[in-house]
Amino acid sequence: MLSFFKKDKKIKELAIMAPITGQAVSLEQVPDPAFAGKMMGEGAAIEPAEGKMYAPFDGKVAQLIKSKHAVILEHESGAQVLIHVGIDTVSLKGSAFSPAVQTGDKVKQGQLIMEFDMDMIREAGLPVITPVIVPVGIDAVQAVQVHDVSALTAGKDTILTIKLG
């Protein structure tokens, strides 16, 4: 009868914690036109200090890319985040990457998702800068706020906030 007193349990915002410890960098500084031009979506990038990636929120692995260099995570709201280790790292055919999860796995914030060999990536002449993107075309996403932070600690600092609708 007094339904207007019910609390809306649907969340309005989703904080995306830094999945990697390192230095935050704007997408415009990523040496790849698709990321720098935000053609794939809004977000930020991280210059990694260590080769470990952690889940930035509770959700599931929507896709572990076949070459293991990237993962798409999905929140229960439908919002997705792409974490793409390095630039042109698909050319390494998975050799620098050791995923700890598979497509379909459920993950908890702070859980190790992947380890990657930064030296092997650099020795191949590739940048290790890692875009963290909210892909375009996700209905649940209304807006993406990029946080103005420089030094990031995985699991402790918020890099993005997704406004849900």
d(CA 13, CA 120): 37
Selecting among 69, 75, 84, 147, the annotated active-site residue is 84
Name the strand (E) or helix (H) holding 122.
helix 118-123
- Asked if 13 contacts 57 with a C-beta cutoff of 8 angstroms, the reply is no
Clarify whether 147 is annotated catalytic. Answer: no
Q: Enumerate long-range contacts of 89-95, CB under 8 Å, 24 or more apart.
A: 89/121, 89/126, 90/65, 91/124, 91/126, 92/67, 92/120, 92/121, 92/124, 92/126, 93/67, 94/66, 94/67, 94/68, 94/69, 95/120
Q: Catalogue the active-site residues.
A: 84
